[in-house]
Structure 1
């Protein structure tokens, strides 16, 4: 499929619509426009998910930490401004920075993982345009849950860096 925001969101919609927990894993995810067009994909997916009233949903975005990443405080400020009004009632979005542990797994692959299963995305979630494509691979339940555990407290594969940022549907933020 082509790497447009709408095509990527369409491919992810069915699994994410029926899930209460969505883990978006892309080491390069960045809300800054100069770093790829990840925001357009997120906006397109949230627009599709907004059609199911009365749901609560946690969307967690996991990315690799590096020396040019903004601090958690700046991410809370700027991220809130970018997603305010886009989160349906009952939704929250969380941002987590991770680093590889010495001798651990390479943080390169991209996924959308839920409590129901997952999808591996070959080229990532950035909407780089219709001239590029990405392959999507459906993951079975056990594989998806094993991958999700890499991005949770107590992970033996990756180390969480700094505070995580939570943005609520009303635009309020918290660091945790």
Structure 2
């Protein structure tokens, strides 16, 4: 699962040993994410490290790892941080009552609160640090979108990979609509959303899709957004196209039964992708990939119903 943590800059940046240990525990592939709390969280960590007297070599490595973490482990907090309250922990405790973090990692645990972990005492076996890399959710559009939300609201490129994704089928558009609403609400400009489907016997002709896509997706795509449709054909003797994934520029997950919302009586297994597999799958569905044969043209459908070839 994907859990959000508030991490005190002083707790992670005061010495190299704690920084190295903690930063490696976070990532979209590990199920633990660091909330940018406050918005300039990375800057605050670097300032703490500089004041601690950390050597130049380790400070340079710390900065480099924070830069990597911007893509792999950090997410927008979407919480208020009051700079007039000089104490970071007090800010975090206040927000815990409004929009809870999964846990708060700090240099101390004032009040002995159950949801606060002390940085130099953390153990991965602590219940608050346990983050399963696979879990089940009901096959309901809102539940699927909610489970994928940390990726959806943090990414610039979002790919729905499903051989049987059908934009004229309400079971698929239910999940798509809920997912696109989360992306739209994130406030990130210029997010690129794509559906990648596979050729099969029941797939309608591309000309029919082009003619009807705007109508089929009416009310599904938020204003100002669009979604691109990529069709792929398996090559003779080549790789099969069966597994379903949510892939983004931040990370990815396997969606075992696909994106169709078949009802709460069924469950879909989600599993986080480790880094190398995520990168492999992203490359496989790049437009000029040779793993499968692209069915031209690629279509882009806009919120106002327009469809264009790209």
TM-score by length of 2: 0.52
* CA gap 1:169/1:32 in 2 versus in 1, 3 angstroms: closer
Tell me which of 110, 125, 141 is aligned to 1:5: 141
- The number of residues matched between the two structures is 174
C-alpha contact 2:168 2:216 (8 A) present in aligned 1: no
Tell me which of 154, 161, 171 is aligned to 1:18: 154
SS in 2 for 1:49: helix
Q: Which residue is 1:152 aligned to?
A: 286
User: Gapped runs of 5+ residues in structure 1?
Assistant: none
Q: Which residue is 2:237 aligned to?
A: 103
**1:27-176 correspondence to structure 2 within 5 Å:** 27-33=163-169, 37-53=171-187, 55-176=189-310
* CA gap 1:4/1:85 in 2 versus in 1, 3 angstroms: closer
What's the Cα RMSD here? 1.8
TM-score by length of 1: 0.89
User: Gapped runs of 5+ residues in structure 2?
Assistant: 1-136
In the alignment, the residues of structure 2 paired with residue 44 and residue 54 of structure 1 have an alpha-carbon distance, to the nearest angstrom, of 17
C-alpha contact 1:19 1:57 (8 A) present in aligned 2: yes
Q: Structure 1 residue 32: deviation in Å?
A: 2.5
C-alpha contact 2:213 2:305 (8 A) present in aligned 1: no
In the alignment, the residues of structure 1 paired with residue 155 and residue 292 of structure 2 have an alpha-carbon distance, to the nearest angstrom, of 24
Greater relative contact order structure (CA < 8 Å, 6+ sep): 1
Aligned structure 1 segments of 4 or more residues deviating by more than 3 angstroms: none
Q: Which residue is 2:45 aligned to?
A: none
In the alignment, the residues of structure 2 paired with residue 145 and residue 25 of structure 1 have an alpha-carbon distance, to the nearest angstrom, of 14
C-alpha contact 1:20 1:57 (8 A) present in aligned 2: yes
Q: Structure 1 residue 155: deviation in Å?
A: 1.8
SS in 2 for 1:37: helix
Higher relative strand content: 1
C-alpha contact 1:72 1:175 (8 A) present in aligned 2: no
